[in-house]
Amino acid sequence: MAKVILINGSPRADQCTATALDEMIKAFHEEGVETELIHIGNKSIRGCAACGYCSSHDGCVFKDIVNEVNAKLEKADGLVVGSPVYYSSPNGTLISFLDRLFYSAQYDMHMKVGAGIVSARRGGTTASFDVLNKYFSISGMPIATSTYWNNVHGFTAEDVKKDAEGLQVMRNLARNMAFMIKAIADAKEKYGLPKVEHDAFTNFMDGK
């Protein structure tokens, strides 16, 4: 069975971001996709120390939830990352988590399906959405889309439950993501995955 990891990057486990993720979870289950929701927004997660440990070891030098999620993500088919909007950006804890998660992974994320969702009282959603999508695009992860930008609005969970279009976007996103995961698995069986080159590494200051 296909599996998706969902990350709640909000400090609050049961508020706006969680409400949007829960709507996706219900749709995933209807599509026969297994889910695991992981709340990291209330953890103390420092940023990358640029120590290089992960280049020669299994995982990050800081033995925390980043390594735990990396082990789970390696076996999963997709990743959903949810964040509240802080100053038109995802919150700092989530950014630290994602920097280390993606940099320290010792496996190829190529063709795992990714999606970012954001929640806000009013503004800053699309800017935050763009930040999350960059983690997927640099890793060769197809980005699932919906029928609008992946955001919900509200100051409380009850507000978000009244955002009919926002919740509709979450359901459509989950269905599209489930379809992509199944289609990629089918294509992998028939044709194999696309070849990925990693040999070229250009430093624009080396004078060559």
CATH number of residue 159's parent domain: 3.40.50.360
Its pTM stands at 0.95
Would the pLDDT of 205 be above 90? no
Specify whether the CB–CB gap between 20 and 174 falls below 8 A.
no
Give CA–CA dist 2/105, Å, rounded: 20
Q: Going along the chain, which residue ranges are E strands?
A: 3-8, 34-39, 78-86, 89-90, 113-120, 151-153
Do the domain assignments include residue 197? Answer: no
Do the domain assignments include residue 48? Answer: yes
pLDDT digits (tens, 9 = 90+) for 122-173: 999 999 999 999 999 999 999 999 999 999 999 999 999 999 999 999 999 9
pLDDT digits (tens, 9 = 90+) for 41-68: 999 999 999 999 999 998 999 999 999 9
Closest by alpha carbon to 127, among 96, 86, 88, 84?
Answer: 88
Give CA–CA dist 44/82, Å, rounded: 17
Count of structural domains, the chain:
1
What residue type is assigned to position 105 of the chain?
Answer: A
Do the domain assignments include residue 199? Answer: no
Structural domain span for residue 133: 3-191
Do the domain assignments include residue 8? Answer: yes
